[in-house]
Chain A
Amino acid sequence: MGRTMRLARTVALVAVLAVTAFVVPTSAVQQTEVSLVRIRHAQGVATGGEDVVWILGVGSDARPGQVMTRARGDALQLVGINTRTGAATAIGVPRDSWVAIPGHGREKINSALYFAGPRGMAGAMRNLVGIEPDYVVVTRFPFFEDMVDDIGGITVTNPRRFTDPNLKKEGFARGRIRLGGYDAMAFSRIRYNLPGGDFDRSANQQRTLRGIHARIRAQADVPGFIERGVMTVMAHTDTNASPGELFEIAQAVAQVDPRRITTCVVRGRIGFVGAASVVFPDVAQARRLGREARQDATLRGC
């Protein structure tokens, strides 16, 4: 009882002090305490070198115990960030795209990682799109889930309801949906009953990237958020970027304007090479996308 009284007295005292601080005028001549303060804002990040930084994000399908960079690269997104304008773009490539892999002839692009590692994957992407990425970041699905959980989940805009009997029986609803780590992984991996198959899946990966970006941007000014994110990326990915470079990239990502993000998935037609089902990519379109975005990370169309 005494404790309750003491607590009540303390609360009352704090309240009185707080009200006093705001209400009671100071002695002497009262100066203007409330004024219209015009606050202006500027931000900029320069990562050095070119205005546009190109990063190839690769989702490895490595199983537990497998080396992440010597497995198939199943999610492939070439991301460009224009640090001068705040624009960004993502060019998605279906994993079964039949392309030239440096030193290994023609194969599905997802096998470039298995045959030639991140550098080979970068070469395969250059052969298709015409842009050599500055950095390659490889992660595997469980790590990707952890990273999404670490940033507190994401929100994506899903254009259609879809399900998967193995990864998401109850499916994903149409509209704005909230995804935790596992759901973000499933949303990005499922192609079962997507009308556009691999192409729609790649577009979903880009929706996931937009969700991740929005989350990073919203929290970038929380002290330590970017540093924690970089630590997580360092722990969960294989990349040729140094910690300092990852930090620069993360700050550049945080300053991307969501209204200036453009995305596209390289088209193609389904065919066969021997018994294997492959995608013959529209190389002309891929090159056009590369040409359009190379200088300013902006696509004019898809």
Chain B
Amino acid sequence: MPRPSPGRVHHAHRARRVVGLALVLLVPFASACQSTSEPSAAPERLSRSDSRASLAFHPESTKVGIHRVHGRLPVARRKAVRTQVGAVVDRWWEAAYLGGSYPRSSFPSAFPGFTDAAEDRARADKALLTNQVAGPRIDSVTARKRAVTLDILAAGRQARAVTAQFVLTFDTTGSRAGTTTVRGRLFLTRKRGVWRVFGYDVAKGAR
């Protein structure tokens, strides 16, 4: 069997390194999935006669990836966790930032998927956990980036808890035009088959 020349070996190593680098760069995208909880792609008319009416259309879909599973969890269940937790995060984003009719100052049901106790806490932090403060001066909201990365705690081959690191970036129009980024972590546990948010650590900034 002919041995490859040193030059070819070097070339092959380099090629492997390039492929490896490409894979490393691609893995986050490959492991991301699109949450199934996205609202229908059809634009939704939110205001009937207001001259500032806007269409809530959020073409940017949420990418949900897994950083690491701690414990054993079959692949099918990993996918289910990704889908289910992605849906919970999406529902909060839609209710708190992206959906609804702008301008508005009321966010009465901004925390779907939160436990009752967590919702109680979150209401006290509505300035950050919703668009309530800027809402009256916003005409429309368009999502620019929606990314969620999960750390899953598994025991007995079942997912028990999740930390969802997230980044949501959206553009606003109106007198409060700009770009807002909300990033942080949501803490979820699964009880009676349903994922609920019991805690959060969230930062919000705008420019």
The dominant DSSP class at the A interface is: mixed
Q: How many residues of A contact B (CB 8 A)?
A: 35
What chain B residues lie within 8 Å of A251 (beta carbons)?
187, 198-199
**A46 CA / B160 CA spacing, docked (Å):** 17
**A36 CA / B128 CA spacing, docked (Å):** 18
Does B200 touch A at the CB level, under 8 Å? yes
Cβ–Cβ contact B153 & A247, under 8 A = yes
Cβ–Cβ contact B152 & A227, under 8 A = yes
Does A218 touch B at the CB level, under 8 Å? no
What chain B residues lie within 8 Å of A44 (beta carbons)?
118, 121-122, 124-125, 199-200
Closest partner residue, chain B, to A247 (CB atom): B161
CB distance from A125 to the nearest CB of B (A): 26
**A243 CA / B72 CA spacing, docked (Å):** 13
Of A37, A223, A242, which one neighbours B206 at CB under 8 angstroms?
A37
What chain A residues lie within 8 Å of B129 (beta carbons)?
42
Interface residues of B (CB under 8 A from A): 67-68, 70-71, 115, 117-118, 120-122, 124-125, 127-129, 149, 151-153, 155, 160-161, 163, 165, 185, 187, 189-191, 198-207
Does A244 touch B at the CB level, under 8 Å? yes
Question: Knowing A42-B128, A45-B187, A84-B121 touch, does A224 contact B200 (C-beta < 8 A)?
Answer: no
**A47 CA / B199 CA spacing, docked (Å):** 8
CB distance from B159 to the nearest CB of A (A): 10
Does A168 touch B at the CB level, under 8 Å? no
CB distance from B206 to the nearest CB of A (A): 7
Mark interface residues in A213-225 (1 if CB within 8 Å of B CB, else 0): 0000000110110
Cβ–Cβ contact A46 & B121, under 8 A = yes
Q: List 20 A-B contacts (CB under 8 A).
A: A39-B204, A40-B205, A41-B128, A42-B125, A44-B125, A44-B199, A44-B200, A45-B121, A46-B199, A221-B185, A221-B201, A223-B149, A226-B151, A227-B152, A231-B70, A234-B155, A243-B155, A247-B189, A248-B189, A248-B198
Cβ–Cβ contact A43 & B117, under 8 A = no
CB distance from A52 to the nearest CB of B (A): 13
What chain A residues lie within 8 Å of B191 (beta carbons)?
244
